[in-house]
Amino acid sequence: MGIPKISGDKMSILYAHRAKVAIIIKFLPFIVGICLYGFLAFADGKLFPVIKDFTITRIYNIGNDNERFIGGYFSKIRGCPFITIHAIGTTADGKVNKVHIAHTFEGKNYYDTNNKPKGTFEWGDWKLTTTPDIVDITLYGLHECSPLWITETELIHFKIYPGIQNIWAGNS
């Protein structure tokens, strides 16, 4: 069958496309590297979480529905240094808001608790300050498992019920 012959204007179009393809091929390793980096950073916390079995055993408030105190236990399954915890709240119509979380570590400072060994630990009580329209909250833990990125692990997702004063493990 052979190679078709290209002449005239068609040849100049082909060369114009070849130049664009050459530029794309030149930057392709960089583009693939960025995509791979993003995927690995995302997959690290999803496939290899630092915290497992994060459980809330108590939720209570003291007269104010916008401030809740929570506590419980978790299992640390990777020996990565702790960075922080953050919380995201969602409204009934799906809007996402940052939730202020005030946490202390049994009176210790950050450097005493930033690298707990593997095992099961009790946590709390942490104060969550929300707005009245928040209906559920997701907590995330940030750890430094790799020098290239911060590992984010979703700890727990739970609903907020206005007017409920105290919930303890085993009580409903």
When pLDDT is cut at 50, 70 and 90, the band that residue 165 belongs to is low
d(CA 98, CA 129): 10
Confidence of residue 96 (pLDDT cuts 50, 70, 90): confident
- Does pLDDT of 13 surpass 70? no
* CA pair distance 65, 69, nearest whole angstrom: 10
Q: Which two tokens stand for residue 150?
A: 């911060």
User: What confidence tier does 139 reach under pLDDT thresholds 50, 70, 90?
Assistant: very high
Report for 8-12, 18-22, 127-131, 153-157: range of highest mean pLDDT: 153-157
Instruction: Report CA dihedral (172, 52, 153, 31) to the nearest 10 degrees.
Output: -140
Burial of 91 (0-12, 13-18, 19+ CB in 10 A): middle
User: The CATH number of 50-168 is which of 1.10.3470.10, 2.60.260.20, 2.60.40.1200, 3.40.228.10?
Assistant: 2.60.40.1200
Looking up tokens 């630092």 gives 50
Q: What is the DSSP letter of 163?
A: T
Parse the chain into domains and list their residue ranges. Answer: 1-47, 50-168
Query: pTM for the complete prediction?
Result: 0.72
User: Burial level of 31, CB count in 10 A (0-12/13-18/19+)?
Assistant: exposed
| Number of Cβ within a 10 Å radius of residue 167 | 17
Check residue 28 and give its pLDDT: 85
pLDDT digits (tens, 9 = 90+) for 63-89: 777 788 888 999 999 988 888 888 899
Could you tell me what percent of the chain has a pLDDT over 70?
Answer: 76
Say how far apart CA 135 and CA 157 lie, in whole Å. 11
What is the C-alpha to C-alpha distance for residues 165 and 172, in angstroms, rounded to an integer? 12
